[in-house]
Amino acid sequence: MSHVTLVRHGQANSAALDELDYDRLSPLGWQQARWLGEHLRDTGEVFARLYCGTLRRHRETAQGLNAPSASEIIFDDRLNELEYFTMSQLLAQQHDVPTPNGPEEFARHFPKMLGYWQEDRIINAPERFSDFEARVEAVLTEIAAGQGRALVVTSGGLIGMAMRVTMGLDLVAMSKATLAIQNSSLHRWQPMPLGLGLTQFNATPHLESADRAHARTHV
């Protein structure tokens, strides 16, 4: 079993109203990725394996990172994000739960949406909650079983689910953890006697200086 470091993509198009429009890095998102890549190179950490989801924002983040590695990037759609915009629209149509307007409304809406989704109350959702949970557990287990440290570019919802499956989080705790995840942040799991253990959460060492405070974003 190997160390696994998950990276949330850089800031995407936060003004988007659907999946397609959201799926591209903002200029700040590109800068966050480049700064993180510089940090990884400066620390001298080399990853034996690089994995990346197949969404555009994942690919662009991986390109910006240009992280030191002994291998080519392995693209895997099991690392892709849950379709929040799609399910938010379905929730509004089916249950009269309005789509959020602004960060505060989103923070209240996200756990509510997860609850409906977990209970299979969102008809024609892109995938079932249980299937999302299963694919995250499967891909994390597979990556951890490989040789050498792995760096994985993915999304906040997937990182939140990874915490759920490795730490046994209930839906409320998972929601709170997911909402806290910053763009381009690092989350590290390492082998322990009872399986993978979370040893680093939401780290942004590349954004700690005062002149980069503006770049510490959640959306």
- Spans of all domains in the chain: 4-79+130-215, 83-126
User: Which residues fall within 8 angstroms of residue 43, CB to CB, at 6 or more apart?
Assistant: none
Q: Where are the alpha helices (DSSP H) in 73-145?
A: 84-95, 103-118, 129-144
pLDDT tens per residue, range 55-109: 999 999 999 998 767 678 999 999 999 999 999 999 999 999 999 988 899 999 9
Q: Is 4-79+130-215 assigned to CATH 2.60.200.20?
A: no
Residue found by looking up tokens 């994942």 in the block: 58
Task: Quote the pLDDT of residue 68.
Answer: 67
Buried b / exposed e along 130-141 (16+ C-beta atoms within 10 A): eebbebbeebbe
Structure tokens at 41: 């190179």
Q: Across the strands, what pairs with 191?
A: 196
Q: Is the pLDDT of residue 198 over 90?
A: yes
The CA distance from 189 to 192, in Å, is: 9
